[in-house]
Structures are given as C-alpha cells and as structure tokens.
C-alpha cells in the first residue's frame, strides 16, 4: 500500500478477469440478520452525491454502509449537499431498514486542510462539526469512520483520535477506522487502537502499479490471515476486526502502464474476460496479467473471518461489483459463504 489509495479509500479508478463457477442453485440469496457477521461496505462518490450509488447497490445484503468521503473546507465545514445526503440515506434505509450508516473522513486523496485541522489548536472546533453531523437526527448516522492515511498518521493522529472518540462516545456514536498493517505498525500505539469500536483492515495493495517490478496478487488469503493475526497481537479483539475484501485488481505487463490506469474493477474484469470470476488472475494476450480476488478467494476469506469469530468483512468498494442478481457477484458470494 502506497500512493493515493486509488481504489482503497478514495483515489481514482477507471471504470471499465479463467473458469466460471457453476451457480449454486441450492443456496438462495440471503439478507444478513443482525445476529450474523457484519458485511460492511464502503460506497464511494466523487461528487459527494450518493443517491446514484445507493440506487444501484443491493443494500439488503449489507449490514453496515460507510459513505466515503466527507472532507472539510479550510474552516472545518463538511460536505456534501445536505438535501442530497438526506435522500441517499433515506433511500438506503428504504432498501434495508436495519442498515447502520456511517460517514468516512479522509481517504487516499484527502482534503489538503485535514492536516491543519487535526492539530491541537484546531481539532476541538473541527471535532464539534463532525459530531454535529454525526448526531443530526435527520440522517441517523451510526458513527464516523476515521480513514486518515499516510502523512496524516503523524504526531497529531493519536490526540485527534482520542478527542474524537471521547466526543462520539459521549453521544453514543461509534468510531471506526480503516487501517493498513504497515502504517499501523510504524506509527500507531496500542492505546490508540483501543479507541476504535471497530477496525476495517485494509488487507490489500500488497503490490500494485507503483511497484511494477513485483507483479502478482495484491490481496491473498495469506495476507488477510496475517493481517488479522497482527491486529489481534496488538490487543484488538477478533470481535472488533473486519477483514477487507477488494472488489478490484491490478494489471501488470507491457500492456498495463505503471499508473492508476492499470487498475480494473471486478465488474470490468469479469465482463471483459469470460470465466474470470472463478480464479484470481487473467492473462491478457499481448498485455500481461490482471490480478484480483475471484469468488473462491472471497469465499475463503469470509470463511476464515467466520471461523475466527471476527466482526465481519469489509468491502472496498461496493459499486465495483456486478449486480447481486448476477451469479458472479462478489456480494452475492459473500452472503452465500457466511455460515
């Protein structure tokens, strides 16, 4: 993981991967009751309007939804347009009345103002605005997701997290985090990790376009297992950890540039290359190989999360999937894999 977090939590991805598995006719689609493991999905919007993404996503198969990203102006005011936001959250709840909705701050391409706003002299005023939105009854947010990455995990990070957590918890709101192992082990203390109610492990981007000399799988089952065990070793209970599942992949080879343009959504891969859903890589003649997570790997990760009594799994990003009515859909695969 590096760069601007292209697909992870907020940077650019172009919309456009080999034997297709046989559909499991014996298993109907299942909506997750509250007692089952969480299926937490990020939903991304470039323009701060989630109405269209919500309208095309299957909210019934998601227990938790995080809208990404809410980034501040210089004065700490948070977007987006409030009327459009209200329509989006209402639409999500129309599809799933039990869904828990969060908003995320930061991401891979955060506001240039964030670094200034989390400093001690400015953070209380900024936090007050975050909490005001989080507690507004018109939206009914469950809480806030802290997705500060890279240079924002600095000397001010722990103090900001502690103050925000105190303020949210005082208002009976949840604070989650999107964290990668490599930044956590470098810069985040155990005491800070304990502030979060849940941690969404960004268990992907082991390699990518920024590292063309190391082609291959960026999000293996082994990585998911190792990342999960790492956070447990830091004192975070399994019941607070969600294993991240990528709905995208990277192309390596002469036909794929060492830029964000090498990225492909899962839906692009599967729709372009017949049979790609059944495995984790697709050879593109004359171009190279695309690596991603197909249905068997997603199934394996879900089963691992269940066996370890993890809180659940996390998806980046929901609209990179096929419609859940398609037998190749990863969201559908997740639901069929949950015990």
**Domain-embedded: residue 14:** no
pLDDT for res 232: 98
Task: Note whether residue 286 is domain-resident.
Answer: no
> What is the tens place of the pLDDT at every residue in 48-73?
889 999 999 999 999 999 999 999 99
Whose tokens are 């009345």? That residue is 97
CATH code: domain of residue 227: 3.20.20.80
Residue 165 lies in a domain: yes
Measured CA distances, 173 to 39, 131, 167 (Å): 19, 9, 9
Identify whether 236 is part of a domain. yes
Range of the domain at 150: 38-249+295-337
Q: Where are the beta strands (DSSP E) in the chain?
A: 38-44, 64-68, 100-106, 143-147, 174-179, 198-201, 241-246, 248-252, 263-265, 281-284, 288-291, 312-316
pLDDT tens readout for residues 131-155: 999 999 999 999 999 999 999 999 9
Phi, psi of 236 (to 5 degrees): -90, 120
In a domain, 287, yes or no: no
75: number of Cβ within 10 Å:
11
Domain membership of residue 288 (yes or no) is: no
In a domain, 6, yes or no: no
Does 205 reside within a domain? yes
The structure tokens listed for 188 are 């985040």
Q: How many domains is the chain built from?
A: 1
Whether the model clears a pTM of 0.75, i.e. scores above it, the answer is yes
Question: Over its length of 339 residues, how does the chain's per-residue pLDDT go in tens digits?
Answer: 333 344 433 333 333 333 333 333 333 344 444 447 999 999 999 888 899 999 999 999 999 999 999 999 999 999 889 999 999 999 999 999 999 999 999 998 899 999 999 999 999 999 999 999 999 999 999 999 999 999 999 999 999 999 999 999 999 999 999 999 998 988 899 999 999 999 999 999 999 999 999 999 999 999 999 999 999 999 999 999 999 999 999 999 999 999 999 999 999 999 999 999 999 999 999 999 999 999 999 999 999 999 999 999 999 999 999 999 999 999 999 999 999
């Amino acid at each position: 993981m590096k760069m601007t977090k292209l697909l992870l939590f907020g940077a650019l991805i172009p919309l456009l991967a080999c034997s297709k598995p046989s559909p499991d006719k014996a298993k109907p689609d299942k909506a997750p009751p509250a007692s089952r493991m969480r299926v937490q999905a990020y939903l991304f919007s470039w323009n701060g309007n989630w109405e269209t993404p919500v309208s095309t996503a299957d909210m019934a198969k998601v227990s938790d939804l995080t809208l990404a990203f809410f980034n501040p102006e210089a004065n700490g005011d948070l977007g987006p347009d409030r009327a459009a936001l209200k329509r989006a959250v209402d639409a999500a709840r129309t599809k799933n009345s039990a869904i828990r909705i969060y908003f995320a701050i930061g991401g891979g391409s955060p506001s240039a103002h964030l670094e200034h706003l989390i400093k001690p002299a400015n953070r209380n005023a900024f936090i007050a605005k975050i909490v005001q939105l989080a507690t507004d009854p018109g939206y009914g947010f469950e809480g806030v997701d802290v997705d500060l990455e890279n240079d924002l995990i600095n000397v001010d990070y722990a103090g900001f997290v502690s103050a925000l957590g105190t303020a949210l918890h005082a208002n009976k709101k949840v604070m989650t985090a999107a964290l990668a192992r490599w930044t956590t082990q470098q810069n985040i203390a155990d005491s800070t990790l304990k502030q979060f109610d849940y941690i969404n492990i960004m268990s992907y981007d082991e390699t990518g376009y920024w590292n063309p000399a190391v082609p291959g799988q960026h999000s293996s089952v082994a990585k998911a297992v190792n990342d999960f065990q790492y956070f447990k070793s830091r004192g975070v209970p399994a019941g607070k950890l969600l294993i991240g599942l990528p709905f995208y992949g990277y192309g390596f080879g002469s036909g794929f540039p060492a830029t964000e343009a090498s990225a492909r959504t899962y839906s692009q891969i599967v729709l372009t290359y017949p049979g790609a859903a059944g495995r984790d890589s697709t050879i593109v003649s004359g171009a190279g190989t695309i690596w991603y997570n197909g249905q068997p790997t997603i199934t394996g990760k879900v089963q691992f999360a269940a066996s370890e009594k993890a809180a659940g799994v996390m998806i980046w990003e929901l609209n990179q999937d096929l419609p859940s009515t398609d037998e190749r859909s990863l969201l559908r695969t997740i639901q069929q894999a949950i015990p």
